[in-house]
Structure 1
Amino acid sequence: MFNTTDIPKSARITRLVDHLYEKMPVIESARAKLITESYQATEGEPMITRRAGAFAHILRHIPIIIRDEELIVGSSTIAPRGCQTYPEFSYQWLEDELDTVETRSADPFYIAEETKQELREVHKYWKGKTTSELATSYMAPEAIKAIEHNIFTPGNYFYNGVGHVTVKYEEVLAIGYEGIMAKAQAELDRCHVGDGDYARRSHFLSAVILSCQAVMEYAQRYAALAEKMAAECSDPVRRNELEVIALNCSRVPAKGAGSFYEACQSFWFVQQLIQLESSGHSISPGRFDQYMYPYYKKDLENGNITREFAQELMDCIWVKLNDLNKCRDAASAEGFAGYSLFQNLIAGGQNKDGEDVTNDLSIMCIQASMHVHLPQPSLSVRVWNGSPHEFLIKAAELTRTGIGLPAYYNDEVIIPALQNRGLSLEDAREYNIIGCVEPQKAGKTDGWHDAAFFNMCRPLELVFSNGMDKGEQVGIATGDVTEMTTFEEFYDAYKKQMDYFISLLVNADNAIDVAHAERCPLPFLSCMVDDCIKRGISVQEGGAVYNFTGPQGFGIANMADSLYAVRQLVYRDKKVSMEEYKEALLWNYGKGIDSETAVDMTASILKEMERQGRAIDESAVKSVLETVMTMKPSEDQKARFEEIHHMIDEVPKFGNDIPEVDYFARDVAYTYTRPLQNYKNPRGGQFQAGLYPVSANVPLGGQTGATPDGRYAHTPVADGVSPSAGKDVNGPTAAANSVARLDHFIVSNGTLFNQKFHPSALAGREGLEKFTALIRSYFDQKGMHMQFNVVDRDTLLDAQKNPEKYKHLVVRVAGYSALFTTLSRSLQDDIIRRTEQGF
C-alpha cells in the first residue's frame, strides 16, 4: 500500500519559488541566432540532417546556468521563466509585436532593445522558409477564408511546433541515450545502399544519433559547470550538492539511471530539451509515478534515500516545470492565458493487466503540488472502481486548496474510447493525459491534440445570414431562414454549415501537418516514440504507432440551448417568428449595435456597394460606419427584443438534469463529433473530436455575434461541455447528470467539465467525502472528466482590485491552472461568472 503521511515543505522550495516569480518573464535570442547560423551553414543538405545539426549547434553553444539552491539543473534561458524563440515555425507575428509584447494584456514578456535588434536581423533569413508560410500555400482558399472569418483557428500548430506528446521516459531512464543510439546504429547497420528507402532511412537514423550525442554533450557542459562552481563555493553544504549534481550530469542522461536522484535529473533533461528542439507545448510527463517508482522503491529499501529527500527532489522538479515558458502571438496568448505550457502529469490508475497501481509516488505527486502551489505540472489523477478511497481523499485535499488541481479522469470511459480508435487493450489501460484533457498511449502516439479550435456558434450565425459574413459568401447558401417551415429544415441547415466548415478545418490541419513533415521533422523527439527508429522516419512523417489529429469544438451548451430555444419558441409554441428572432440577434436583443457589429455591418454594406460598382474611398467608409453606429431600434422594437430575451430565459437549459434538453444537447454534439471522425490525416491516422476550448471561449466568443440562447454579442461562449455560465441552477449533481448524458465515448480527444465550489462545500472530512461521492457518481454515469475551482467570488473580485495581495492565487482556467493575476481581465471575468456550487 502507499503512505499518506504529509511531508513538510523544505525552506529551499519556498526560496526557489520566490526567485522564479521575482520578475516579468524575458524573451531571449540565443536559440534564434544559433539555429539561423546552423541553417545558413547547411543549405542544400537533407532537412532531417539540418534539423539534427541545428539542434546540436544550439546545445553546444546556448548559455547555461545553475541557479542558487537548485538540486535539478538544466535551463533553456538565463532568466527565470524566460523563453527562446523559434523562427523556423513562424516569426512575422513576433516581428510585428516586438514593441507591444511587453505591454499586452495577456502574458506580457520583457524584451531588451538589443534583443529586438538581434531578432530583427535573424528574421531576415527566414522569409519564405517557415512552416506557417508553407502551410498557407497548401491550404484551400476557402479554408483560409474560414480562418479569416473566425469560424475556426488552427493557430496552435500554424505558428508553433506540434508538441502534445508523451515520450518513452522509462526507456531513457533504463538505457540512456547511449542505449538509444545503439538501437539507431543497429538499424543503420542493417541499411543497404541499394534499398529503396536508403536515402531517407539512413539520414533519419544518423540524425537521431547526432541528436542523442548532442544531448549527452549538453549534460557534460552542466557537469563541468557544477564542478567549477563547487570548486569556487565556500559553503560546504552547497559545495557537496554541486559535486553530486556534477556526478549526476556526468552519468545521465547518457547512461541508464542508477538511483532515484539520477532518474530525476535524467527526466528533467528529457523534459527540457524536447521543448528546446521545437516550440511545441503540452510536452506531458505522463505517468511519472509509474516509471519513477522502481528507482524510488529500490533506493528506499536499500536505505539510500529518505522519503523526505525524495519529496524535495520531486518538489524541485515541480518548480522547474514552471521555469519553462513560451511566447505566443497576442491573439493566441488570449486563448492560452496564464503562461501555461500544459505539462500534464498523471497519477494513479491501472496497469496493462487491469490492476490498480497507485503507489507512494502517486501521493507524493499530490504533495509536491501542495508544496509548490504553482500551475505546473497540470496534475491529473486517474479514477476507476478500483481506485483506493484514501487516494481520492488526498486528491480532494489538494482540490480544497483552491489551486484547481488535480483534474479527474475516468478510466472506465477513456479506456474503451481509445480501444474504439484502434488501441490495444493493454495500451489503452496505460493511457495518460496530454495538455488539457487529451488521452493517449505514451511513447507510441502522435496525437496532434489541440489541432484547432472550432467555434460551433459561428455556423449557426451563417444559417441566419444564408452563409454571408461581412459582405462575403463564407458558408454555403442554406436558404432564407425566414422561409424555413419546420425545425428539421432549420436544424438540417445548421448541420450542412457544420459539415462544410469541418471539411475546411480538416483541409487546414492537413496542410499544416504536411508542412511540419517537410520543414521541421524532429529527430530527437522521434527517437523516444515507437516505432520511428524501426520505421526509419520521424514522428512528423508518420513514424508513430498511433496517429491522430484532434481538433476541438466548443460552444456545445450555447448551441444546444440555442437550437432548443428556436424549436420551442418558433416552431412548437409559435411565440416568436423567425423574422423577429433574426432581428433580435442583429440588434443584440435590444442592446443596440456595438462597435464589433458595426464594423461587420459596414464591411457588408461596402461589399454590396463594391458589387454595384460604386466608388469606395476613405470618406465613403467613414460615412457608412458613422451611419451604422448611429442606428438604433425603435422603442417598440427594443421592447419586443427584450421580451424575446426574457422568453428565451424561461426556456429550459442544458445543465439542470432535464433529460429532454440533455439528450438534445447530445444530438447537437454529434453534429461535430460524428462528421469529423470520417476524415484521415497525412500520417495515415484518423481525426478524432475533442470538446474543450482551453480558454479560447473568451477571445473567440468576442468574435461571435448574439446567439439564440440569449447570449449577448461578443461575450464568452460556454467552456468545454460545461453548461453556460449561470444557467445550471439546480446544483452540482444536476449539472453533472446533464453533462454525463453527452456521448463521451465518441469524444476520444477529450471533454472538459468545469465546476466551481465555494470553499465551505469541501470543509472538513464530510466535505471531502461528499466531493469524492460527486466524482464517483458522475463517473458511474460515464462522464469522462471533471475539474474544479474552489474559491469564493469575493476573493476573485478583490484579486482583480488588489492584484499585489494575490500574487500566488492559482485558479483553474480550462484544462489547466494559472496564476489568477496573470490572466487577462476578460478571462478573469469569465471565471468569476461561473456558477458557484455547494452541497
Structure 2
Amino acid sequence: MAHYSLTPRVKVLAERLLSQKSTLCTEHATTLNALDGDIAGVPAAVKPARRFYELMRQLPLCISADELIVGNQTRKPHGAIFHDESAVRRPSAFQFLNLNSDLDSPDYKLVMEKGVLAIKHQLEEKTRALGSAVSRSGMDEVNGCRAAIYACDALLALAQNLANSAEQLAAAETNAYRRAELLDSAAILHHVPAHPARSFKEACQAFYLFQLALQLDNGSYAVNPEGADKALLPYYQHDINNGALSPQQAYEIVESLWFKLAELCEVRAACAIDGYPMFDALLHDASLENARINELSDMFLSAQHNLSALHLPVRLFKGVQHVSAAPFAAAGETPAAEGLTPRMQRLRNHYLTVRPSVSIYRALAFTEVVKANPGMPTILLRAKSLPPRLRNRADSDSGR
C-alpha cells in the first residue's frame, strides 16, 4: 500500500488552527435561545426539528481561507460550541435516518446516494397518504414526518448558506486559482446534499456537511458515523477509473476531510460514547502494511498518521469509555437517614447522587437584562430575566 505525505494545503491549515487559542462561541446558543418565542405553538414532537431548521437559516456561517472541504461550525477560528443538557438528551432531528435498531448511526450513504430532496419528497408523499389523521397514533406519525421534513430543510438551508458564502468570497478573491476553488465549492454545495453525489469530492463534501449538521443539532448523534472508507469507495473508484482524479488529488481531498472532522468540537461532560468511530480499518487496528484494507482505507490511515503528529483533536473510538462517578456520591455509599420510610430514603439517595444541571441560557438572559437596566435592584433584575412562563406564574402567585 502507498504512503502519502502531509499535503502543503493541510499543513498550512493545521498550523493556522494550532496558532489560534480554542474559543467558546455563544452565537449558536444565543440564536437558539432567541427562537423559542417564534415556535411557541409548534407541537412538541415537531419543535426540536423546527428549531433546528430556523437555526440553520439564521446562524452566521463562514468558510476559512484555503479550505478544500468547506464549512465551519463557528465564525471564530478554533471555535467550539456547547449544548445544554436538554438538547444533548433529546433524540437528534435526524433520528429518522437511523441505519437500524441495533446501531445508533444515521445512514450517510442514503444522503450521498439518494439526496435530501428525494428523501423529503418521500416524506411529503407519506404525509399526504396519512391525510387528516384523527387517531393518536396517526397524529404521532404525521408529526414525525413533519419533523423529518424540517430536518431535511435544515440540511438544505445549511448547504445553501455555505454556497452563498462561497460565491461572495469568490467575488472578492483576487487569486484566480482560489477563486476557481471557491466557485467549484459553491457549485458542489448547490448540488449536494440536495441531489445524489456525482464525484468523489461531492461525496466527501456531502459526508462532511451531514456530519456538521449533526454536530450543530445536538452532537450526540454525530459520534458514530458508518465506515467512510466503504461509503466513499465507489465514488473514489469511479473518478480514478475515469481519469477525473489522480490518487494524489484524492488524498488531498481525504486529508482535507479528516482535518475538517478534527475541527468539529464542542464543550460537554464526559459521556459513554466518545470519539469518531468512522473508519472500520482504524477501528480494528489496521496498519499501512495490512494488504486487506482497500486503497481508500490506506489514504484515511495515512491522513490519520500525518495529522496525529500535529495533535489535532481527532479521537479514535476503541471500545466504550467508562465515565468515572468519582465527582458524585454513589447511591450505595449514601448512609441511611433515621426515621425515613424506604421510599423517602430512595428519593433522598437519588437527590444526593444526581448530576447538577447548569443552563447557560439563564446566565445569558440575566446578563442582557443587567445591560438594559443599569441601576435596577438585583431582585428585580432576576425577576425580569425569568422566562415568560415562570414570570407569569410568579405574578399570579403574588396576586393571591
TM range (shorter): 0.7 to 0.9
Q: Identify the match of residue 111 of structure 2 among 172, 182, 202.
A: 172
User: 1:346 — aligned with what?
Assistant: 279
Residue 46 of structure 2 corresponds to: 49
How far residue 436 of structure 1 moved from its aligned partner, in angstroms, is 4.5
**1:32 aligned residue (26, 29, 34):** 29
Worse-matched range after superposition: 249-258 or 207-216: 207-216
Q: Structure 1 residues 468, 66: closer, same or farther in 2, change over 3 A?
A: closer
Q: Secondary structure at the match of 2:105?
A: coil
Would the alpha carbon gap of residues 234 and 201 (structure 1) be closer, same or farther in structure 2, given more than 3 Å must change?
Answer: same
Spell out the pairing of 1:88-167 with structure 2 (5 A cutoff): 89=85, 130=86, 165-167=104-106
Q: What whole-Å deviation, never above 9, does each CA across 1:183-222 have from its counterpart, x for those lacking one?
A: 2123212213245222211122112112212211221121
Q: How does 1:232-381 map to 2 (within 5 A)?
A: 232-280=172-220, 283-328=223-268, 332=270, 342-348=275-281, 358-373=293-308, 374-379=311-316
Q: Which amino acid aligns with 1:274?
A: L
AA at the equivalent of 2:149: I
What is the letter of the counterpart of residue 58 of structure 1?
L
Distance in 2, Cα, partners of 1:468 & 1:260: 55
2:68 maps to 1:71: yes
* Cα shift at 1:7: 2.1
Please tell me whether the aligned partners of residues 133 and 142 of structure 2 are also in contact (alpha carbons under 8 angstroms): no
* Percentage of identical aligned residues: 23
Give the distance between the partners of 1:306 and 1:255, measured in 2 at CA.
25
Residue in 1 that maps onto 2:126: 187
Pairwise CA RMSD: 3.6
Distance change >3 Å, CA 291–CA 60, structure 1 → 2:
same
Over 3 Å counting, the alpha-carbon distance change for 1:295 and 1:160 in structure 2 is closer
Q: How does 1:553-702 map to 2 (within 5 A)?
A: none
Shift of 1:167: 1.3
Q: SS of 1:84's equivalent?
A: strand
1:285 positional shift = 2.5
| Distance in 2 (alpha carbons) for counterparts of 1:161 and 1:207 | 11
Q: 3-state SS of the aligned residue for 2:263?
A: coil
Cα distance per residue 1:348-400 (max 9 Å; x no partner): 499xxxxx973111111111112222455444xxxxxxxxxxxxxxxxxxxxx
Taking structure 1 as reference, are residues 262 and 468 closer, same or farther at Cα in structure 2, changes over 3 Å only?
closer
Aligned ranges 1:454-533 → 2 under 5 Å: 469=334
Change in CA separation of 1:322 and 1:193 when aligned onto 2, cut-off 3 Å: same
Sort the Cα spacing of 1:21 and 1:198 in 2 relative to 1 into closer, same or farther, 3 A: same
SS of 2:279's equivalent? strand
CA distance in structure 2 between the partners assigned to 1:348 and 1:58 by the alignment: 36
Q: Could you report, residue by residue, the CA deviation over 1:127-150 in whole angstroms, capped at 9, with x for unpaired residues?
A: xxx47xxxxxxxxxxxxxxxxxxx
**Letter paired with 1:347:** D
Letter in 2 for 1:176: G
Task: Using the TM superposition, give the Cα deviation of residue 469 of structure 1 relative to its aligned residue in structure 2, in angstroms.
Answer: 4.3
Alpha-carbon displacement from aligned partner over 1:29-79 (angstroms, at most 9, x marks no partner): 222222222211222321232212211111111111111110011111012
In the alignment, the residues of structure 2 paired with residue 231 and residue 468 of structure 1 have an alpha-carbon distance, to the nearest angstrom, of: 65
1: CA distance, partners of 2:122 / 2:234: 23
Structure 1 gaps, min length 5: 90-129, 132-156, 351-355, 380-434, 439-449, 478-499, 513-839
> Residue type of the partner of 1:203?
N
- For 1:451 and 1:160, how far apart are their aligned partners in 2? 22
* Counterpart code for 2:69: I
Structure with bigger strand share is 1
Q: Distance in 1 between matches of 2:127 and 2:91?
A: 31
One-letter amino acid of the counterpart of residue 66, structure 2: E
Work out whether residues 59 and 215 of structure 1, in 8 Å CA contact, stay in contact via their aligned partners in 2.
yes
Structure 1 pair 284–468 and aligned structure 2 pair: CA distance change class (3 A): closer
Cα–Cα, structure 1 residues 348 and 325, in superposed 2: closer, same or farther, change >3 Å? closer
Q: 1:358 to 1:200 in 2, by over 3 A?
A: same
Secondary structure at the aligned position of 2:278 is classed as strand
Aligned equivalent of 1:437: 319
Mapped to 2, the partners of 1:248 and 1:327 lie a distance apart of: 31
Distance in 2, Cα, partners of 1:215 & 1:43:
22
Return the offset for 1:280: 2.1
Alignment partner of 1:222 is 2:219? no
Q: Which has the higher helix share?
A: 2
Deviations 1:319-369 (A, max 9, x none): 11121111135xx5xx89xxx96112223499xxxxx97311111111111
Distance 1:376 1:347 in 2: 19
Shift of 1:468: 5.6
Q: Which amino acid aligns with 1:325?
A: C
Paired residue for 1:204?
144
Distance in 2 between the 1:321 and 1:451 partners? Answer: 24
Secondary structure at the counterpart of residue 270 of structure 1: helix
Distance in 1 of aligned mates of 2:333 and 2:233: 58
Find the residue that maps to 2:35 and give its secondary structure.
helix
* 1:83 corresponding residue in structure 2: 80
Against the structure 1 CA distance between its residues 286 and 80, is the aligned structure 2 distance closer, same or farther, given a 3 Å change threshold? farther
Question: Is contact 1:83–1:325 with CA below 8 Å preserved after alignment?
Answer: yes
Residue type of the alignment partner of 2:307: V
Contact persistence 1:299–1:305 (CA under 8 A): yes
Partners of 2:72 and 2:104 lie apart in 1 by 20
Q: 1:451 and 1:57, CA in 2 relative to 1: closer, same or farther beyond 3 A?
A: farther
How far 1:470 sits from its partner (Å)? 6.3
The offset of 1:255, in angstroms, is: 0.6
| CA deviation map 1:790-819 (0-9, x unaligned) | xxxxxxxxxxxxxxxxxxxxxxxxxxxxxx
Aligned to 1:10: 7
For structure 2, the residue ranges without an aligned partner over 5 or more in a row are 96-102, 284-290, 358-400
Shift of 1:169: 0.6
Contact persistence 1:64–1:74 (CA under 8 A): yes
Residue type of the alignment partner of 1:437: G
Q: What amino acid is the match of 1:48? A: A
Cα distance in 2 for partners of 1:231, 1:8 equals 33
Name the amino acid aligned to 1:362.
S
Mapped contact 1:72–1:316 kept (Cα < 8 A)? yes
Quote the offset at 1:166 in angstroms: 2.4
CA distance in 1, matches of 2:333, 2:15: 53
Structure 1 residue matching 2:225: 3-state secondary structure: coil
Native 8 Å contact 1:260 1:296 kept in 2 = yes
CA distance in 1, matches of 2:89, 2:50: 24
Structure 1 contact 165–283 (Cα < 8 Å) conserved: no
Matched-pair contact (CA < 8 Å) for 2:133–2:139: no
